[in-house]
Amino acid sequence: MGMVIAAAHTATHHGAGPASAVELASRTARACLEQAQVSPSSVGVLINVGVYRESNTFEPALAALVQKEVGINLDYIADPVPAAGFSFDLMNGACGVLNAVQLAQSLLDTAAAERVLITAADVHPGGDARRDPDYPYADLASAFLLQRSADPDAGFGPVSVYAGDGPTDTEGYLDTAAMGSDGRSRITVRRTEGHGARRSALAAACTVGYAREHGIDLNRTLVVGPRAGRDTGVGEDPGAAQDTSAAEDIGAGEPHTAAPILGYLQALAAPRPKDCDRLLLVAAGAGPSAACVAYRPEGW
């Protein structure tokens, strides 16, 4: 019995007020529940993987705040069915969503939860990424609602993680020497020259390695690469997912932790290449590190 995506959504900040990771993540979570036509109490575990947050908030865990906003089993004594809701943050940058997918597989395989909700939201700590030309990421959120499927041919394959060579070339941190009294609204993101090419090369190498390890025919696979939302997937592979109009809606900057879910939605919205029978989601980021997982939607 495989684990499948019951619903997926993205949300961007278009309001007059400051962007909020909690608000954006909660909006995508509620949209997933509405699409799947299930109640918040049916979610056993919520995993939040976003990194950048309003006012540089790190405690309490944003997952708990999202759980409260969505109303996921807030009173497990009064509403114990199917189980008490549990939430936590998992922070591993661009690979976070795929790490959360791996955890969700274990939770569903052991019947520790009936459904797992993954949220990924990044916002500039000052509330508007457009006002900081040195900040590279969009104010963007996305979510996956995952559950088991009776279709033996559908669902996720194993998640594989990889470590690249050399030191990390991407860092996000609070520069205490420069932040002054504006520390709650500022962030420094350092990316060395050529980081994009190195990330693409690592993603391409891991894609080939994953396909070889798991016997996947890349000629029949739609690769959704780490730059989903701004250009094609891994390298110039004609099987890589192409941009759709969704990429024009994310505002200033590029997607960060939300990229795998955005790429998945773009892949489903685009015409499916002939003979394609699965997706391969690839993420690559700081570390350097990468993660890959194969996925076959129900009905493919």
Distance (Å, whole) CA 98 – CA 101 = 5
Give 10-residue mean pLDDT values along the chain (300 residues). Answer: 92 84 96 96 94 84 94 77 79 95 95 93 87 89 95 93 85 74 76 85 94 95 76 34 38 87 93 91 91 93
Those residues whose C-beta lies under 8 Å from the C-beta of residue 193, and which sit 6 or more positions away, are none
pLDDT at 1: 61
CA pair distance 86, 112, nearest whole angstrom: 11
Q: Measured between alpha carbons, how far is 15 from 53 in angstroms, rounded to an integer?
A: 17
Going by DSSP bridges, is the β-strand pair 188-191/170-173 parallel, antiparallel, or unpaired? Answer: antiparallel
Give the pLDDT of residue 102.
Answer: 97
Quote the distance between the C-alpha of residue 34 and its chain's center.
Answer: 19
Domains in the chain with CATH codes = 2-152 (3.40.47.10), 157-296 (3.40.47.10)
What phi, psi does 48 have (nearest 5°)?
Answer: -105, 130
Cα–Cα distance for residue pair 263/283, rounded to 1 Å: 10
Amino acid, res. 94: A
Residue identified by tokens 């932790």 is 257
Among 124, 107, 131, residue whose Cα is nearest residue 50: 124
As separate numbers, helices (DSSP H) first and strands (DSSP E) second, the chain gives 5, 11
Q: Where are the beta strands (DSSP E) in the chain?
A: 2-12, 45-48, 86-89, 115-122, 140-149, 155-163, 170-173, 188-191, 221-224, 278-285, 289-296
Q: What pLDDT sits at residue 180?
A: 67
pLDDT at 238: 30
- Under 8 Å between Cβ of 22 and 169: no
What is the edge-to-edge ordering of all strands in the sheet holding 155-163? 155-163, 289-296, 278-285, 221-224
150 contacts 93 by C-beta, under 8 angstroms: no
Structure tokens at 183: 């520390």
Distance CA 197, CA 243 (A): 19
Q: Could you give the CA distance from residue 29 to residue 143 in angstroms, rounded to a whole number?
A: 6
